[in-house]
Every structure is written in C-alpha cells, then in structure tokens.
C-alpha cells in the first residue's frame, strides 16, 4: 500500500502543485507558449518575465527527495536530481529514502572515482562521463550529483574513494573531461563538495579554517577548472563551514569566488540538509535547497517542503521587503538556464542504459586504474596445467557495489573476483577459496540486497589456520583483502580510525608469507592502507571498487590480458603518524569557548600528500604517482626550451621491454629560490603514452608563468618570482629521471 500511495504521489503531486500555482498565477484567457527557437539567454528572460513571485520561489527548493519544481503553467518541467558519481541511483519513494521497488532501475556500476583518478587518463575520464551521462539521460535525470573532487588531506576521510586523489592538478585535469562527457548528454554535472570538505567525522558541525594561499593553491584549483574549462552547469555546496560560515550559503565561496571571480553562470545546489539559515540561504549564493531536515540532523514531517528556508520563509521576506526580487531573479535565471540546458535543450538526448558498451567501458576503466605496486616476476599469473591456486580473503567474494552511502547502487550485475578467477583458470588449474577472516557480513544497504550469504561459523583462529594449511600445498596464493564500505572504512558519514588493515589481516598475510613463495596480495580499498608485510610478499596489487566488471578487470591485470598502467593518485604512507596532521586542532577539530561549532585549523597549509612527505623527506611505502608495468620504459633526451611566453619541456619515452604497455610521464616543477615556503615539487603536467615493444615517442609539456606561481594573499594574486626553477620528469613523485634547471626573469 505504501508503494502504491507513493507512486501515486510521484505522478499526481506535480499536478496538484500545478493546480495550487494556477490559483495564484492569474493566467490570461489564452494559453502561454514559450518560444523555444530563441537563444538560451533570451529563452531564460522570456520565461522569467512570465513567472509570478510564487512560481519563482517554487523553483528554489525541493518538492520531493530528489526533485525540485518546474513551472507547469509554462510547460517548464521539474528538475530531477540523481546521486552519482559512480552510477545512477535506484529510484526512491517520493518522500522517503527507501527504494521504490522498481524492476528496471538496475544500472551499470562504474568504478569509484579514485579508480578513475588512478588511470591518469583524460580520454578515459571523458568516456566515463559520457557513459554515466547517457545512463542518467535514459533515466530522465537532469542533474547528476557528481563528480567529487575534494582533496585527500587525510587518508582517514571516509569518502576518499569518491574523490580524485590528493593533488589539485591531477583532479582538475580529470574532472574537465568527465564533466564534458556527462553534459554532452544534456545532463548537468554537479561538481561537489564545494569546498574544503575533507572529512566525514562531524561533517555538519565543523568549520574548516584556513588561509587564502592554502585555499587557492590546494582546495580550489580543481573546482575552478571544472567551472572555467569544463563548463560545469551545477555545483553542490558542502556540509561543513568555511571560516565560520556554512558552505551551502557561504558568501566568500559562492558569491565572491564562484560566481564573482570565476564567472560561474550555473546553479548552486545544497547538499541534502546542508542549508541552515533563512537569510544566508537567500543572500549568499544558494539557488536550490535540497534535503533540509532529511539528513538526520532533526526530524520533520515528510511534507515539510513548504517550510524550507527558501520556501515560505523566503516568500514572507519578499512580501515584507526583507528580501529583494532582484536576488530571486538571479536564482530563477540560473535554474531556468539549467532546465533549458538539460530536459528542454533544443538538441534532444535520449541516452542509453546498461548497454554492452557501458559495461565494456567500466571494465576498461577499472583495469587501467589498477596499480601494480610490487612484482618480483610472479605476475602475470601463468600456472602450469593442474596447478592449485588458493584464493584467500573476504574481498574475493564480497560484492562491493552495495553500501558506502550516497554512492550505493543497484547494479544489473557484479562480477566478483573469485568468479572471474574460476572463469579464467578452471580449464587448466583448480581455484580454491578460503575466507581467512570475517569482515563485513552486511549484504544490503537501504533495501538494495546482494543476495549473498556472508555468515560464518568458524572462529577467527580457525579461519586463519584453515587458510595457512591450504596455502602450504598451493602453487599460488592470491590474497584479496583490504577495506569495504562499512562504518569507519570507505563509507560516507564516518571516517576511518587508522590506516591499519582491519580484521587482523596483517597477521594473516604474515602467516601466509611464511608458507608461500608465490604470494600475491591484492588490496581492495578506496583509500591508503599500511603494508608492514610489503617486503615479505612477492607481488602487491592495489585494486579499487571497480563496479559491475570489477572481477573481470582485476583478473585481466593478474593474467596479463591487460598490462597494468595505473598510478597511485595519493601517497601510501608507512604509518598514519608520518602524515602532516599532527594535532587535534588540525584533525578532527576542537571545541573552543564561545564558538558553537567545532573548529579545525589547516595549520599544515599547502603541505598535504606528497608535498608534505617529499618536502620533509619522510619515507613512504609507495609514493604518489607510483605504478609498475609488465614491461619497462626508458626516459631520455630531456630538455627545456623557451617557447612564446613560457617553456616547452620535452623528452623521449621508449618501451624497452617485451610487451605493449602504457607509461605515465609526470612533470613536476621545483622553485629553488622562493621567498615563501613551497613544496620541493608540484605536479604540473602528465601524459599517458601507449607504446609497442621498442617503440619511441616524444612527449612535450607547455608550461607558463601560472605553473611557476604561488598565491599571494596580500595582493590576492598569483605571483611568479624571478629566479631558478627545475623541470623534473619522472614516473612518480619519487622516481625522477631527469632534472633540468631553467630561469625566469634572470
């Protein structure tokens, strides 16, 4: 009965809303028709001129969990939002988070965005956006709530798996094609979470306090590229506060920077429940308020939409003069612009859903982002006929698409690694699985159910003993563990407690290493983990949450069907204590007398990730940008030459091995004479190049003054100081193959 009523609400609520609007719209005797042949801005002004005050306000807030109102009288449809950024969320009930029970909303699950970041491949990022945009359009969604590009300030952040790593240049280069691919389908990408949203613990009650240099150099560049180069049509505000003001209505972030300095002409949407104040919501740059009172902060009736900050309270202020229609018109213009760019675009898009091409794209992206961290020749797998392959670990069997928060998906299918190994080897070898440990036995999330049985009757000691006993007779042992999407792991709403592997996995891996000389460790996670056993195992593979085709993609790499080419998008530290966040005031924040919210201070400034480790000369397990191949590459003939107003950095890359493969050539810039503290190197370019054995190719990077600059807060400008710089070419932040000095202004 609940489902029937909710579905009726979904279809009839807009009609009821239309009747209510008609009651105050005072329409003319003749129907009103908009001229859709006009240019975009003329269409916007035409529609705006015909709208009543009430109709404009209705645009600015939710009417259901995932939709905001249109103007039925003028034929302007509502806007439908959907969670991404890894796939199209299953349908939910009109006023509830529960699944609606549809049978045709099982999507293609694409790899987690950290997996995409690990490809270091702009073309694959565009493919990702193009495919997920097509799925959104097919499902009649107008706004895709993604991608996420917040920086990896701490490896404990529960949503690291949803973001694109620790470096603003890498994230910025990859977000642009993703956004363009999505919007090629007439779907608005909603880049999130703006801004300095770098933890899940107390995410709705913590102020991120930092100076302008840190803000502009680390936490804004990827967003700026999304706006100015990607042309994103939507931005989502974040839950936290920045310098004491909530980000969903933060004047400096939304009005001064986003809409002012960057000239953003799209729509700003609140995170669900992120709007907290009537007056600030009106004046400080928010355009659409979503999810208020539905994020667990406080209870409210399911029909509370009229009480949103931008609903009746807004109308009251407009009517008594406390709010101006000029500000309202700016919001309405941005919303209308979004509608006319998406569902009412002159170029109609129809999309496609769960196509073979989409699953193939998901498989390729997942495989190309898998990182080979270590290999003594054990990989690729080449077992003899009749060999015994032992697979140990819960993550070989557990489905990983379900869970994790708003990125939770109902996928058409998910290939688990164990099944993919059987598929690859059953004709010539035996594949046996031992669980080894019990991690997360959850098989459902928000009523999306995997159908797996993860119950276990054996004790932890018995599981370990059984796995070690089986390993003694195995020709290969493939350990598949890591993290999952449960609480305090890779999960929205909670942060991790440490980077140590949970469930006693370190002890298990050490025990397996004592009895096997062919031990391959596959770590499946969305964030860094400590690997104290790294020197004792034969090979280490960093896999991710790979979506529908995760098992196939992983086995493609293990068998050599795909030569690994992924690179770490973050640093893999030896221990959490080695990182830049040393005090509670840095993370997770402190309470201060006289202040309502928790206060967090970014005292480390611009020194996060490899900027911290490399500058402080702190050893790490695996550096930013690291990743091996089944072939070898040589980088030679490096040079820097003046070119126009900048310089051209070039080198020759050669595949010196026996198999085809891809290498990522990375360009870092070092400022050797800076007047302010700067990292010893910063990523300013990269190219992923595929070569046949023996093939050579020249790689070129064009750099300008912006690549030499730091942000000077006093002058509010980017400054390049005359002096000596170095162009550093390599294959990771630690593996620098060439250092070429050059001068600017001397």
Q: Catalytic residues, which ones? A: 271
Alpha-carbon gap, residue 516 to 673, rounded angstroms: 51
Locate 127 and state its tokens: 């493919």
Alpha-carbon gap, residue 417 to 399, rounded angstroms? 9
Closest C-alpha to 308, from 327, 291, 330: 291
The pair of three-digit structure tokens given for residue 672, joined into one six-digit string: 């050797």
Secondary structure of residue 333 in the 3-state scheme: helix
- 241 SS3 class: strand
Phi then psi for residue 380, to 5 deg, are -75, 155
Exposed e or buried b per residue across 138-152, where buried means at least 16 C-beta atoms within 10 angstroms of its C-beta? bbebbbbbbbbbbbb
Cα–Cα distance for residue pair 35/47, rounded to 1 Å: 9
Q: Give every CB contact of residue 689 below 8 A, 6+ residues apart in sequence.
A: 653, 662, 663, 664, 665, 697, 699
List the end-to-end C-alpha distance of the chain, in Å, as a whole number: 78
Angle between helices 168-183 and 122-138 (to 10 degrees): 40
DSSP state of 384: P
Residue 207: DSSP 8-state: E
Tell me the two tokens of residue 604: 């480390």
Q: Are strands 633-643 and 646-655 parallel, antiparallel or unpaired?
A: antiparallel
253 backbone φψ class: left, alpha, beta (φ>0; ψ -120 to 50): alpha
Long-range contacts of 14-17 (CB under 8 A, 24+ apart): 14/63, 14/69, 14/70, 14/72, 14/78, 15/72, 17/58, 17/63, 17/69, 17/72
How does strand 206-209 pair with strand 598-601?
parallel
DSSP string covering 427-467: TTEEEEEE--S------EETTEE--------S-HHHHHHHH
CA-closest candidate to residue 679, choices 603, 594, 605: 605
Query: CA 502, CA 508: separation in Å to the nearest integer?
Result: 11
Of 311, 318, 239, 313, nearest in space to 271 by CA: 239
Neighbours of 62 (CB within 10 A): 25
């Amino acid at each position: 009965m609940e489902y029937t009523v909710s579905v009726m609400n979904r279809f009839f609520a807009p009609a009821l809303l239309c009747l209510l609007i008609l009651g105050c719209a005072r329409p003319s005797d003749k129907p009103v028709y908009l001229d859709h042949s006009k240019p975009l801005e003329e269409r916007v002004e035409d529609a705006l001129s015909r709208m009543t005050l009430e109709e404009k306000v209705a645009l600015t807030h939710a009417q259901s969990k995932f939709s905001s109102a249109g103007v039925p009288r003028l034929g302007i449809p509502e806007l439908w939002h959907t969670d991404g950024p890894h796939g199209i969320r299953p349908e939910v009930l009109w006023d509830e988070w529960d699944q609606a029970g549809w049978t045709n909303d099982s999507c293609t699950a694409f790899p987690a965005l950290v997996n995409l970041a690990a490809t270091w491949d702009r073309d694959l990022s565009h493919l990702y956006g193009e495919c997920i945009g097509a799925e959104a359009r097919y499902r009649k969604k107008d706004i895709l709530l993604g991608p996420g590009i917040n920086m990896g300030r701490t490896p404990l952040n529960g949503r690291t798996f949803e973001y694109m790593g620790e470096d603003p240049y890498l994230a910025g280069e990859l977000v642009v094609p993703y956004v363009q691919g999505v919007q090629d389908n007439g779907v608005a990408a909603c880049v999130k979470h703006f801004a300095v949203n770098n933890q899940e613990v107390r995410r709705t009650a913590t102020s991120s306090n930092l100076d302008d240099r840190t803000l502009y150099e680390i936490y804004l560049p990827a967003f700026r590229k999304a706006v100015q180069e990607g042309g994103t049509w939507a931005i989502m505000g974040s839950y936290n506060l920045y310098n004491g003001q909530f980000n969903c209505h933060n004047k400096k972030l939304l009005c001064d920077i986003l809409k002012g300095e960057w000239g953003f002409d799209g729509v700003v949407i609140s995170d669900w429940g992120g709007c907290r104040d009537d007056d600030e919501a009106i004046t400080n740059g928010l355009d659409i308020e979503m999810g208020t009172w539905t994020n667990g902060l406080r209870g409210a009736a399911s029909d509370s939409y009229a009480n949103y900050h931008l609903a009746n309270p807004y109308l009251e202020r407009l009517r008594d003069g406390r709010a101006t229609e000029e500000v309202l018109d700016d919001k309405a213009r941005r919303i209308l612009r979004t509608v006319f760019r998406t569902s009412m675009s002159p170029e109609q898009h129809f999309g496609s859903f769960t196509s073979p091409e989409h699953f193939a794209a998901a498989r390729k992206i997942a495989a190309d982002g898998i990182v080979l961290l270590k290999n003594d020749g054990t990989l690729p797998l080449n077992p003899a006929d009749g060999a015994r392959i032992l697979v140990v670990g819960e993550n070989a069997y557990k489905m990983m698409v379900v869970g994790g928060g708003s990125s939770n998906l109902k996928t058409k299918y998910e290939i688990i690694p164990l099944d993919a190994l059987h598929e690859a080897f059953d004709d010539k070898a035996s594949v046996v699985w031992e669980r080894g440990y019990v991690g997360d036995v959850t098989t459902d999330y928000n009523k999306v159910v995997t159908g797996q049985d993860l119950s276990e009757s054996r004790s932890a000691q018995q599981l370990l003993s059984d796995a070690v006993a089986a390993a003694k007779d195995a020709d290969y042992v493939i350990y598949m563990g890591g993290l999952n999407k449960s609480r305090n792991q890779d999960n929205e709403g909670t942060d991790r407690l440490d980077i140590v592997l949970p469930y006693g996995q370190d002890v298990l891996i050490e025990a397996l290493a004592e009895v096997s000389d062919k031990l391959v460790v596959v770590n499946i996670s969305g964030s860094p983990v400590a690997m104290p056993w790294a020197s004792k195992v034969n090979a280490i593979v960093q896999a991710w949450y790979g979506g529908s085709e995760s098992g196939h993609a992983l086995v493609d790499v293990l068998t050599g069907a795909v030569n690994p080419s992924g690179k770490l998008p973050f640093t893999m530290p030896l221990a959490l204590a080695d990182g830049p966040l040393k005090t509670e005031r840095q993370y997770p924040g402190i309470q201060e007398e006289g202040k309502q919210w928790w206060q967090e201070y970014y005292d480390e400034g611009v020194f996060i990730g490899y900027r911290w480790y490399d500058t402080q000369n702190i050893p790490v397990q695996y550096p930013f940008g690291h990743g091996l191949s089944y072939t070898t590459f040589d980088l030679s003939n490096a040079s820097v030459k003046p070119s126009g107003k900048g310089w051209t950095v070039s080198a020759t890359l050669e595949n010196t091995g026996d198999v085809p493969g891809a290498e990522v050539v990375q360009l870092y810039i070092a400022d050797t004479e800076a007047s302010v503290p700067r990292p010893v190197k910063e990523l300013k370019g990269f190219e992923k190049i595929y070569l046949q054995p023996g093939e050579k190719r020249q790689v070129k990077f064009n750099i300008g003054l912006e690549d030499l600059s730091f942000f000077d807060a006093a002058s509010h400008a980017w400054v390049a100081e005359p002096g000596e710089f170095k162009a550093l070419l390599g294959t990771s932040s630690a593996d620098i193959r060439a250092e070429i000095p050059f001068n600017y202004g001397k």
